[in-house]
Amino acid sequence: MNKINAVQKLWLVQDKTNIVYSFDDIVGLISAGTEAFKFEGNACNGLFEFNYKKTFDKKDNNANVNMRLNLEHWENQLVTNLPYLENLRTLFTNITNGWTVFTSLEINGQEVIASKGMKIDDWKFSIDNCNLLNYVYASKVISMALEKPILYTDSVTFNGDQLEDIIQVAETFDGNRYFGKDKFKENPSCKLVIEKNCENIKILLNKTEPSSMRITQKRGETIHLLGTPIEVPPEVITIDQVTPKVLADIDDLREDDVVTVEWVPEDDCTLTYSFKE
- Structural domain span for residue 66: 3-174
Q: Do 71 and 156 belong to one domain? A: yes
Of 76, 70, 48, the closest CA to residue 153 belongs to 76
Residues 6+ positions from 57 with CB-CB distance below 8 Å: 35
Look at residues 174, 194, 215 and tell me which one is the last residue of a structural domain. Answer: 174
Query: Residues 151, 266: one domain?
Result: no
Question: Do 18 and 152 sit in the same domain of this protein?
Answer: yes
| Residue (of 238, 192, 189) closest to 213 by Cα position | 238
Which residues, 6 or more positions from 26, have their beta carbon under 8 angstroms from its beta carbon?
7, 8, 9, 10, 41, 42, 43, 48, 50
Alpha-carbon Rg for the chain, nearest whole angstrom, is 27
Same domain, 142 and 187: no
Judge if 18 and 136 occupy the same domain.
yes
Structural domains in the chain (count): 2
**Cα–chain center distance at 252:** 48
pTM of the model: 0.86
Distance between CA atoms of residues 31 and 37, nearest Å:
6
**Same-domain check for residues 131 and 238:** no
Q: What pLDDT does residue 70 have?
A: 97
pLDDT for the residue 196? 85
Q: Based on the domain organization, do 18 and 35 belong to the same domain?
A: yes
Question: Is residue 92 located within the same domain as residue 198?
Answer: no
266 and 136 share one domain: no
User: Does one domain contain both 160 and 219?
Assistant: no
Domain boundary among 132, 154, 174: 174
Q: Please name the helix (run of DSSP H) or strand (run of DSSP E) that holds residue 174, with its range, or none.
A: helix 160-174
Residue 1 pLDDT = 60
Q: Please list the pLDDT of the chain residue by residue as tens digits (277 residues).
A: 678 999 999 999 999 999 999 999 999 999 987 778 899 999 999 999 999 988 777 666 677 889 999 999 999 999 999 999 999 999 999 999 999 999 999 999 999 888 888 999 999 999 999 999 999 999 999 999 999 999 999 999 999 999 999 999 999 999 989 989 898 889 988 888 888 888 888 888 888 789 888 889 889 999 999 999 999 999 999 999 999 888 888 778 888 889 898 989 999 999 999 999 8
Q: Are residues 141 and 182 in the same domain?
A: no
- Of 115, 139, 174, which closes a domain? 174
In which region does residue 119 sit, left (phi positive, over 0), alpha (psi from -120 to 50) or beta (all else)?
beta
Which positions ≥6 away from 175 have C-beta within 8 Å? 274
Quick one: 191 and 243 in the same domain?
A: yes
pLDDT at 74: 98
Are residues 102 and 114 in contact, defined by beta-carbon separation less than 8 angstroms? yes
